[in-house]
Chains A and B, each alone.
Chain A
Amino acid sequence: MSTASYQDQFAALASERKGPEWLPALRQAAMTRFAELGFPTTRNEDWHFTSVTPIAERTFKPVRAEKSSVTLDALSPYLFGAEDWHRLVFVNGRFDPALSMFAGLPAEVTVSTLADALKTQPELLVEELGKLAQYVEQPFTALNTAFMSDGVVIHVPADVVVEVPIHIVHVADSGAAGAALYPRTLVRADRHAQVTLVESFIGLDRATYLTNAVTELTVGEGAVVGHYKIQREAEDAYHVYTSQAIQAATSTYHAFSFASGSALSRTNIYTRLNGAGAEGRLNGLYCLDGSQHCDHQTFVEHIAPNCASRELYKGILDGSAHGVFNGKVYVDPEAQKTDGKQSNHTLLLSGTARIDSKPQLEIFADDVKCTHGATVGRLQDIALFYLKSRGISAVSARALLTYAFAAEVLETIEVDAIRLGLEALVFERFTNGVPA
């Protein structure tokens, strides 16, 4: 579990790296920190149920420069049929202008790749990049910060509403085998701005690679940011993702995480309710099978008073899949009148599936209303029997009830195309070739 190979890679790349002066310093600080921290072990409470040994024992290398052979046709099943969305596509970590399309944005809005933004908006980046994501405490964030190659920078100025979602598509194909991809996304929505970000992670071919992504979001006063993360990586891929949002007063941030891919994945969705009256909604659904391991960690920090947070995560686990949910709600002494709700529900479809759930509350203010709940169970025999007695086949009944379980959380999705897309996906997954 040595970090030495990454230090070597870092040293080798140092000379090739371009960009403003402060950037190498940031990368170096992050690299040094990663060397100190090393890969997390299960002795670390935050990684108690997830061993990253399969990632740590391999050495993933930066991707080789190669021309992309991915076509729009190959991508189209992953685009939610939404032709009007703004789209930025990265193939094996490299921006692909041919597959991308984001010309129709409002003029005030700037969307650019990280590489371009370093040239055109250095002042924004020096102000924001690496300020929210905690590379000092989080080893994978440190690794991303040291190696971040490309990504997207979005700035929506005050009062501007971006009507159509911005879809960032990270595609990996066989060219990613053995590689580590380090996408980095930065979103700033100023006062009363509105924007919806969709991040898709897609594996087209069977390949073992590591995605280690970091997204930072600054949500201004009264701004509304939707954030959908769709993880459909290749089945042998490893995926670690961290997003950190900071919310000003009366802002709304809605993050939804869907996961069905990857051999081992870890998604961290963090938000800090930093201004009075802000609202954070963190929802998610994971559908796992085989020997997949999927870990979600959420962290809602109530720093300011009168904020609300709502959290609903559901898991459907089949085969010998292992799901992990670790949700933390922290309420600062100043955060009076906090209204926090968190739930995690898991449906076990097989006798060998396993769930570890740790919904936590840490409360330091006295005038608060906080609840959390967790349930684990299988499909109710009685409900199955009821459907069968109405002539529905056992398999259909199972699919229907499973779908019904997922429906509650899918309903929180505010973008119709995503909701319909995921509903269809879940339904298909659990009917799996069975005639309706």
Chain B
Amino acid sequence: MSASIETLVNKEYQYGFVTDIESDTIPVGLTEETVRLISAKKQEPQWLLDWRLKAFRRWLTMTEPSWPNVKYTKVDYQAQTYYSAPKSVKPLQSLDEVDPELLRTYEKLGISLTEQKRLSGVAVDAIFDSVSVGTTMKDELKKAGVVFCSFGEAVHEHPDLIQKYLGSVVPYSDNFFAALNSAVFSDGSFVFVPKGVKCPLELSTYFRINAAETGQFERTLIVAEEGASVSYLEGCTAPKRSTNQLHAAVVELIALDDATIKYSTVQNWYAGDADGVGGIYNFVTKRGKAMARAKISWTQVETGSAITWKYPSVILQGDDSTGEFYSVAVVNNHQQADTGTKMIHIGRNTKSTIISKGISAGHGQNSYRGQVKVLPKAEGARNYTQCDSMLIGNKCGAHTFPYIEVANDSATLEHEASTSKIGEDQIFYCKQRGLNTEHAISLIVAGFCKEVFKELPMEFALEAQQLLGISLEGSVG
């Protein structure tokens, strides 16, 4: 691998700074008391505490999954802190009251929460460690009847909706990390789009882990009622720290009949240094349930985290429902990713599309793991899967583990996968036309990822561009 390829793939992590802010942090360790303490801090109703406790007790009986193709030092769950909040965050009347230090943090991350500089057409919920700092554009959304607020706020303002939908797609007993999240989740975002409403703005949540030795366990719940539609984006960064930090989130999407939910992620958690020290352990459960004619689409650009364990899934419950998964996963240095999707076809004439692009560099190990399951009643189910891997250098790895399970003869499934490297001849061709090696590689990579990038909303396409250090103009549109 030439020196310039190294430079390109080893770009310095830009978001590694630490915000010096006084925090209310609970002692390390995880017991039933911890769960009660978190619930009390959030002044939660009894039913939610009970739910958390059920989850916690179940979690105690579960073991960490060993099947992912990743190797890491097991997490000491008793050495983590499960709640940390900036002291200055109190119920706010307006965003002007937010601690200026926090506003500066988000400015540095490229997210402006103040009125003047906000991106037009995007409403942002900013989550700092365990709590929401503030949500922008609330009034505009209110006019449309859309609820977009922190999860904590929703528990108090919309308890009936939370009680109805929480855990309805990802039950607390689903898996080890989902159970842990259900017990100790601190905050997150809640979106509710009522019947027939097309959400007028892009909704966005920005997650920032700041405190050391603190896990982030957020919970996102998005409900689109009949005929509603919404596009939601999340972004994530964390400071550089030499210890591993845990992020175990749960995202639940509910798309009722004829609804559409588009969920995009640009994940840039700190990935650890060049020797693989530090970085975020990203163990996330994301799942959506699509009712009749509904559509759920996941798009993810994953460049960060030391370990990624994540399978955004769609349960195609209703007839004629659609599930999509578009993913770019980049691993470099000693990063490891085991990511993919599950498409569970239950309804008739359900359709799913999976496009996965994995790029491995350095010592990175990238695994695609995807399940397509067609149940006996899913007449006419269709799936198309394409997963391509690109290798940069000879110390990395690319792995593909598809699980194709079909129990209906009218199903049509196609799976294609390929692995290739950036061709020396491609680089020379670009150089002969005047592009330097770095530009040539970013161009080739952008071309490789084109089918995924074109699914990203414009605002995030730009962030993804910065992230990969590549120009998107050629691959978008």
Query: A and B: direct contact (Cβ < 8 Å)?
Result: yes
Interface residues of A (CB under 8 A from B): 45, 49, 333, 336, 346, 348-378
> Known contacts being A333-B395, A376-B411, is A370 close to B419, with CB within 8 Å?
yes
- B402 to A366, Cβ gap below 8 A? no
> Known contacts being A349-B409, A378-B410, is A355 close to B404, with CB within 8 Å?
yes
- A366 to B394, Cβ gap below 8 A? yes
- B235 contacts partner chain A, Cβ-Cβ < 8 Å: no
- A373 to B414, Cβ gap below 8 A? yes
- B421 to A360, Cβ gap below 8 A? no
- A363 to B391, Cβ gap below 8 A? yes
Task: Supply 24 A–B pairs (Cβ within 8 Å), ascending by A.
Answer: A348-B406, A349-B409, A351-B376, A351-B408, A351-B410, A352-B376, A354-B407, A355-B404, A355-B405, A355-B406, A356-B403, A357-B404, A357-B406, A359-B415, A360-B400, A367-B394, A368-B419, A371-B416, A371-B418, A373-B414, A373-B415, A377-B413, A378-B409, A378-B410
Smallest CB-CB separation from B409: which chain A residue? A348
- A360 to B401, Cβ gap below 8 A? yes
- B399 contacts partner chain A, Cβ-Cβ < 8 Å: yes
Tell me which residues across on chain B come within 8 A of A360, comparing CB atoms: 399-402
Q: How far is the CB of B317 from the nearest CB of chain A, in Å?
A: 20
Tell me which residues across on chain B come within 8 A of A374, comparing CB atoms: 402, 404, 413-415
Q: How far is the CB of A403 from the nearest CB of chain B, in Å?
A: 18
B391, B397, B406 — which one has the most chain A CB atoms within 10 A of its CB?
B406
> Known contacts being A45-B67, A348-B409, A355-B404, is A366 close to B415, with CB within 8 Å?
no
Smallest CB-CB separation from B395: which chain A residue? A333
- A363 to B398, Cβ gap below 8 A? yes
Q: How far is the CB of A202 from the nearest CB of chain B, in Å?
A: 30
Q: How far is the CB of A326 from the nearest CB of chain B, in Å?
A: 10
> Known contacts being A358-B404, A375-B414, is A364 close to B397, with CB within 8 Å?
yes
Cβ-Cβ contact count across A and B, 8 Å cutoff? 115
> Known contacts being A363-B399, A372-B417, A378-B409, is A336 close to B394, with CB within 8 Å?
yes
Tell me which residues across on chain A come within 8 A of B376, comparing CB atoms: 351-352
Smallest CB-CB separation from B371: which chain A residue? A358
A-B pairs, top 6 by smallest CB distance, nearest first, are A348-B409, A366-B391, A357-B404, A374-B415, A361-B400, A376-B413
Smallest CB-CB separation from B401: which chain A residue? A360
Residue from the list A366, A370, A371, A376 in contact with B406, Cβ < 8 A: A376
- B167 contacts partner chain A, Cβ-Cβ < 8 Å: no
Tell me which residues across on chain B come within 8 A of A356, comparing CB atoms: 403-406
- A358 to B402, Cβ gap below 8 A? yes
> Known contacts being A45-B67, A352-B376, A368-B419, is A376 close to B395, with CB within 8 Å?
no
Tell me which residues across on chain B come within 8 A of A348, comparing CB atoms: 406, 408-409, 411
- B419 to A376, Cβ gap below 8 A? no
- B389 contacts partner chain A, Cβ-Cβ < 8 Å: yes
Smallest CB-CB separation from A366: which chain B residue? B391
- B392 contacts partner chain A, Cβ-Cβ < 8 Å: yes
- B166 contacts partner chain A, Cβ-Cβ < 8 Å: no
Tell me which residues across on chain A come within 8 A of B395, comparing CB atoms: 333
Smallest CB-CB separation from B414: which chain A residue? A375
* Interface residue ranges of B57-77 to A (CB < 8 Å): 67
Tell me which residues across on chain A come within 8 A of B416, comparing CB atoms: 371-373
Smallest CB-CB separation from A368: which chain B residue? B419
Smallest CB-CB separation from A326: which chain B residue? B403
Tell me which residues across on chain B come within 8 A of A377, comparing CB atoms: 411-413
* Interface residue ranges of B405-449 to A (CB < 8 Å): 405-421
Give Cα distance in the complex from A363 to B391, angstroms.
9
Q: How far is the CB of B133 from the nearest CB of chain A, in Å?
A: 43
- B301 contacts partner chain A, Cβ-Cβ < 8 Å: no
- B394 to A365, Cβ gap below 8 A? yes
Give Cα distance in the complex from A368 to B398, angstroms.
11
Tell me which residues across on chain B come within 8 A of A376, comparing CB atoms: 404, 406, 411-413
Smallest CB-CB separation from A371: which chain B residue? B418
- B183 contacts partner chain A, Cβ-Cβ < 8 Å: no
Q: How far is the CB of A311 from the nearest CB of chain B, in Å?
A: 13
Residue from the list B404, B413, B417 in contact with A361, Cβ < 8 A: B417
- B396 contacts partner chain A, Cβ-Cβ < 8 Å: yes
Give Cα distance in the complex from A360 to B368, angstroms.
10
Give Cα distance in the complex from A357 to B406, angstroms.
8
Q: A364-B397, A372-B417, A374-B404 are in contact. List 18 more A-B contacts (CB 8 A).
A: A348-B408, A356-B404, A357-B402, A358-B401, A358-B403, A358-B404, A359-B400, A360-B399, A362-B397, A362-B399, A368-B391, A373-B417, A375-B413, A375-B415, A376-B404, A376-B413, A377-B411, A378-B410
